[in-house]
C-alpha cells in the first residue's frame, strides 16, 4: 500500500505524540531522529543513509511526494530525458553534474563543515 508523504508524516507524528502523552518519551527526547524512525523509509536510510543524489527524468521539476523528509540535503538533477531512454551516458552526465557541485548541507557558502 502506497501512502502519501502527508499521511506517512501524520502517522509518525501521531505515534510520537501518543508516546509523549504516555511519558514513554519526554519532550526533550522528541527529535528528528525519533520522527525519522517512524517513517516508512527508516530501514533503508538506517542502512544506507539519506540519498546524496536524486535524478528526476522526463522533464518533471518536482519530487512528487518522493522521500520529502529524507531528501532535505539531497542534490537534485532534473533531466528532460524520458525514463525509457535513460541510459549509461545520461546517468554519467547526471553524475558529472553532481560531482561539480559544492555540497554545503544547509550551510552558507564558505562553511565547509559537514552535518
Question: Which tens digit of pLDDT belongs to each residue from 65-113?
Answer: 777 777 888 999 999 999 999 999 999 999 999 999 988 777 776 555 5
Collect all residues with Cβ–Cβ distance below 8 Å to 106 and sequence separation of at least 6. Answer: 72, 73, 115
The whole-angstrom separation of Cα 11 and Cα 40 is 10
Predicted confidence (pLDDT) per residue in 88-101, tens digit: 999 999 999 999 99
Predicted confidence (pLDDT) per residue in 8-36, tens digit: 777 777 877 777 766 666 666 777 777 77
Measured torsion, CA atoms of residues 61, 68, 48, 46, in degrees rounded to the nearest 10: 180
Radius of gyration of the chain (CA): 17
Q: Which helix (H) or strand (E) holds 115?
A: none
* pTM for this model (two decimals): 0.64
Strands 75-78, 53-56: parallel, antiparallel or unpaired by DSSP?
parallel
Amino acid at each position: 500500500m502506497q501512502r502519501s508523504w502527508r499521511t506517512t508524516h501524520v502517522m509518525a507524528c501521531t505515534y510520537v505524540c501518543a508516546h509523549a502523552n504516555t511519558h514513554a518519551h519526554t519532550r526533550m527526547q522528541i527529535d528528528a531522529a525519533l520522527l525519522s524512525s517512524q517513517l516508512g523509509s527508516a530501514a533503508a536510510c538506517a542502512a544506507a543513509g539519506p540519498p546524496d543524489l536524486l535524478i528526476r527524468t522526463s522533464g518533471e521539476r518536482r519530487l512528487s511526494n518522493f522521500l520529502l523528509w529524507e531528501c532535505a540535503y539531497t542534490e537534485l538533477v532534473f533531466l528532460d530525458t524520458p525514463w525509457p531512454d535513460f541510459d549509461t551516458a545520461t546517468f554519467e552526465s547526471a553524475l558529472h553534474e553532481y560531482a561539480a557541485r559544492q555540497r554545503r548541507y544547509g550551510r552558507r557558502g564558505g562553511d565547509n563543515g559537514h552535518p
